[in-house]
Amino acid sequence: MQVGNFLVLIEEGTPTQITSAKQHALSELLKVGPDMEKVAQEIGGKFPLFVHDFLDSIDSILHSASGFIDEAKIARCFNCTQKLEKAVGE
């Protein structure tokens, strides 16, 4: 997802770049998120929870105040990503 690009641009980008990256990431989340949740439901087990937490962590970052992202939100997103990746790898 484009969240990484958004986070980098918060530190190094112009306001226009940040806004564009945020809009792109939100658009991607809205496009891909429902499909991810649908597939997770079909797989079952803990996948629906992992996918929900992953998508929610991304959403919380993208809806944070521009220019400041709480480190706890970034850590949560990282941890949710790790759990989901581990579950997919099993």
18-58 pLDDT per residue, tens: 999 999 999 999 999 999 999 999 999 999 999 999 999 99
3-state helix/strand/coil string of the chain: CCHHHHHHHHHHCCHHHHHHHHHHHHHHHHHHHHHHHHHHHHHCCCHHHHHHHHHHHHHHHHCCCCCCCCHHHHHHHHHHHHHHHHHHHC
6-19 pLDDT per residue, tens: 988 888 889 899 99
- Amino acid 66: pLDDT: 62
The total of structural domains in the chain comes to 1
pTM listed for this prediction: 0.88
- Domain span at residue 61? 3-89
51-85 pLDDT per residue, tens: 999 999 999 999 886 667 889 999 999 999 999 99
